Each structure stands twice: as C-alpha cells, then as structure tokens.
C-alpha cells in the first residue's frame, strides 16, 4: 500500500483503532509538569461496548539530569469467540531532554498494515519521516500520544504517529466535576478535543493534572480509557 493510499484510507475499516492511541489531547489551564519531572507510569484498559479489548501503557525511564524516555505500548484485539476480527499494535519511544522531545520513533501494525515513523532533532528543528514523506517541525512539537504531558495543550498541531506528519488539534475545556472510576470517585476537569482523521473525544484530568479517564470516537468505534485496577 502506498503512502497516499494509507492517507486516503483512514475512513475504512482500518480506521477502527488507527487513531485510538493518538487522540486524547489535552489540558489547557493545568500548567506543565513541575520542572518536567519524569511522570509516573500509566496503564489504562481500553473498553468497547462494555468489553475490554486492549491496553494503553506508558513506561518512563530516567536518563539522568531530569531527562527521560517515554515508551508507549498499545495492544488491541477485537475477538468473536476464538476468532480475532481486528488487531492493532503500536510502540512509540520518545526521548525528552530539557523539557522538549528531541527524538521519537515507532511502529504501528493496524490489522496487518504496517507503518514506521521517526523524528530527530536536526539543528533547531525536528526532522520527521514516515508514510506521509519527510517534513520538519519546530523544536517543542510533540507527538499525538504525548497526552501525559499537559504542555501539549499549548500546541495547535501535533505529530501524527501513524502518518508521520503534522496534524491540527483543537481543544476545549469545562469546569471540574465528580467522575466515577473503578473503585473510587475523583474530582476532575473534562476537556474536549477534535483531531485529524475523524477523531474526537473527551479527556479528564484530576486536580494534579494527571490523566484519569478518556473517551475517544473514531469513524468506526467509540472507546473508553479506564485506569487499570
């Protein structure tokens, strides 16, 4: 499949999850992580129509001097009995230095359709390479899965980790509200987002700015993100 075919085919069946790892964007008004300290690991279950179909995990590794690596893993499988109807896997690794992403790379397997992207700092810009070709992004740009970092709210475009290109992002916010999570209630602020490839949704952050719940709507699915108990 050519890069152009992949770009034009996002409304097909394979759009079911292609954006699910990359859409819960994010958090105006919460401020940045303190001194860009390395966050705690994150683990969410992905729920579709009441059934768990996958996981979204982010693991952080210190690189010293406040720098760190963020490794995101998403594994989704839609099954009917013993049959697997759909499979999506994504692994993205980012390197953060002095509060900015300076390197990222990863692979996506969207039901057999595979894509790879890479970004690295060249001078004062990020050089991006992926299915959409080669592009440049300003230093300070983030990937569309970096929603663990509230600073993404300052962005009006993000790096799409499926296509390997800059994509627009629109975010709106609401007041704090009480939400029900597995085993607890949390006071959290709800945000709405609109992203590329037909994706939209909601995301909730607690009073510390920690992502605690999400909802994502793609052209072919509605998905809930709930913290793993």
The pLDDT tens digits for 161-177 are: 999 999 999 888 878 99
Instruction: Note down the domain range covering 42.
Output: 3-227
Q: SS3 letters for the chain?
A: CCHHHHHHHHHCCCHHHHCCCCCCCCCCCCCCCHHHCCCCCEEEEEEECCEEEEEEEEEEEEEECCEEEEEEEEEEEEEECCEEEEEEEEEEEEEEECCEEEEEEEEEEECCEEEEEEEEEECCEEEEEECCEEEEEECCCCECCCCCCHHHHHCCEEEECCCCEEEECEEEEEEEEEEEECCEEEEEEEEEEECCCCCEEEEEEECCCCEEEEEEEECCEEEEEEECC
The domain total for the chain is: 1
Tell me: the pLDDT tens digits for 80-132? Answer: 888 999 999 999 999 999 889 999 999 999 899 999 999 999 999 999 999 99
Q: Provide mean pLDDT across the span 35-54.
A: 89
pLDDT tops 80 at residue 71: yes
Instruction: Return the ∠ at Cα 66 (arms to 56 and 61), rounded to 5°.
Output: 35
pTM of the model: 0.81
- What is the end-to-end Cα distance of the chain in Å, rounded? 40
In this prediction, what percent of the chain has a pLDDT beyond 90? 58
Range with the lowest mean pLDDT among 1-5, 42-46, 112-116, 133-137? 1-5
Give the whole-angstrom CA distance, residue 70 versus residue 146: 9
What local confidence, expressed as pLDDT, does residue 36 receive? 62
């Amino acid at each position: 499949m050519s890069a152009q075919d992949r770009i034009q085919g996002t409304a097909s069946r394979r759009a079911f999850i292609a954006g699910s790892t990359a859409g819960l964007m994010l958090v105006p008004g919460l401020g940045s992580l303190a001194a860009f300290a390395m966050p705690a690991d994150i683990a969410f279950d992905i729920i579709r129509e009441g059934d768990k179909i996958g996981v979204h995990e982010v693991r952080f590794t210190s690189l010293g001097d406040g720098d760190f690596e963020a490794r995101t893993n998403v594994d989704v499988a839609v099954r009917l009995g013993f049959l697997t109807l759909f499979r999506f896997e994504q692994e993205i690794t980012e390197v953060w230095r002095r509060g900015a992403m300076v390197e990222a790379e990863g692979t996506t397997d969207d039901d057999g359709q595979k894509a790879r992207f890479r970004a690295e700092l060249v001078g004062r810009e990020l050089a991006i390479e992926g299915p959409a070709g080669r592009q440049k992004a300003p230093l300070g740009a983030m990937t569309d899965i970096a929603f663990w970092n509230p600073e993404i709210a300052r962005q009006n475009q993000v790096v799409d980790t499926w296509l390997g290109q800059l994509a627009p992002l629109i975010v709106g916010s609401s007041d704090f509200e009480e939400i029900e999570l597995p085993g607890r209630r949390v006071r959290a602020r709800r945000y709405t987002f609109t992203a590329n490839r037909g994706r939209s949704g909601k995301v909730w952050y607690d009073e510390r700015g920690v992502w605690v719940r999400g909802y994502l709507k793609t052209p072919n699915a509605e998905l809930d993100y709930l913290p793993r108990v």
